[in-house]
Amino acid sequence: MKTLTLNLSGYVCKGVASVKHWGGGEACIEMKSFKVCQYSIISDDNLLLQNLNDAGFGVEKITGGIVDIYENYEGHLVFLESKEVGEIFDCCYYN
């Protein structure tokens, strides 16, 4: 029997960001996934909110998001939890 050991190398966050456009309007946009080394960053809603992104689209403000958090075992992702942070517009729930 062979044994394979994978080490937890951090966390990966994916999901949708709730954004306000320049000149008005609200929308939800798929974020570019990002890596986090320490669980303390994703367990603190304020720190997690600061790491949300608009995938380079360029918006006035990111107000919140729905974030799926995965444990990263050397490239193999395992779903951990889903979190809602900040102000989330209704359209994000249909994305």
pLDDT 10s digits, 51-83: 999 999 999 999 999 999 999 999 999 999 999
Task: Show me where the domains of the chain are located.
Answer: 8-94
User: What is residue 8's predicted lDDT score, i.e. its pLDDT?
Assistant: 94
User: What is residue 95's predicted lDDT score, i.e. its pLDDT?
Assistant: 56
* Predicted structure pTM score: 0.88
What is the C-alpha to C-alpha distance for residues 3 and 48, in angstroms, rounded to an integer? Answer: 35
- Find where tokens 């320490």 sit: 38
Q: Is the dihedral of CA 73, 77, 81, 86 positive or negative?
A: positive
Query: Could you please report the per-residue DSSP string of 52-74?
Result: ---TT---SEEEEEEEEEEEEET
